[in-house]
Amino acid sequence: MAQGGEKNVLTVDVGNTTTRLGLFSGEELAGTWELTTPERLTADEARLALEQALGALGAPAPAGAILACVVPTLTEPWSRALLAASASCPLVVGPGLRTGVRMLYDDPSEVGADRIADVVAARADYGAPVVVVDLGTTTNFEVVDAAGAFVGGIIAPGVALGARSLAAAAARLPMIELRAPARVVGRNTRDAMRSGVVLGEAARVDGLLDAIAGELGCEPPVVLTGDGAAELAALLRHAATVDDSLTLRGLRLLWSANQR
């Protein structure tokens, strides 16, 4: 855990499907914990989840905490739980928080907290321009231009959501395992669906990256994060760096930037 003057900081990224907790010792990610995001949650339930995570990580109460939550009804219970678990008032990513990034979005308040964290970490670690592709319930593209400004992005249905929608909407289509088939042209229903969902996602990402490069006038570095990032990276034409802890590091950077 933290040595000398370094502080333990807890970062919490509440997504629509998965909630990730990251404990930082200074600037180093010391451990992570994941749980399924529930539809409803009380502050006591969130506090118990925190205690379980900190116990598994062998960590004392953190000196600070920061929350990114894309589910509005879960922001308050997690905030209250973090207030009880940490030594200081937790930060919540949203309007009023310093990011150090120029936002060219028409309405910056519409940008999800996880997207802001991705942009902050990508710009700090990979420079500018850079494109982040974050895979989750949605597939999000975050675009940073050569001047380091967040110029906008793309939001599309995620690959797992696409697979569930197919199975739910068509009576004869099953749920499938999300892995690439051996060939593009499937010879059975499951392989045909895997081709459409998994290889189709890779083709969509490649095509959108081509279009983004055309608008930027350059080929920016690409960073993949989120569920199945390594598997998707292997299918892309574009070279991409896989960074599983990008969002959590962005939250740690945001916490530091707002301590002054």
Q: What is the DSSP string of 136-197?
A: SSEEEEEEE-TTS-EEEEEEEE-HHHHHHHHHHHSTTPPP------SSSS-SSHHHHHHIII
Q: What single DSSP character describes residue 108? A: G
114 assigned to active site: yes
Contact 121, 249 (CB under 8 A): yes
Q: At what angle are helices 246-257 and 113-126 packed, to 10 degrees?
A: 90
d(C-alpha 43, C-alpha 77), whole Å: 4
Catalytic member of 114, 134, 227, 243: 114
Please report, for residues 7, 92, 255, the alpha-carbon distance to residue 26 in angstroms, rounded to integers and kept in the order given: 5, 19, 11
- Asked whether the beta carbons of 46 and 75 are under 8 A apart, the reply is no
Q: Which residues are known to be catalytic?
A: 114
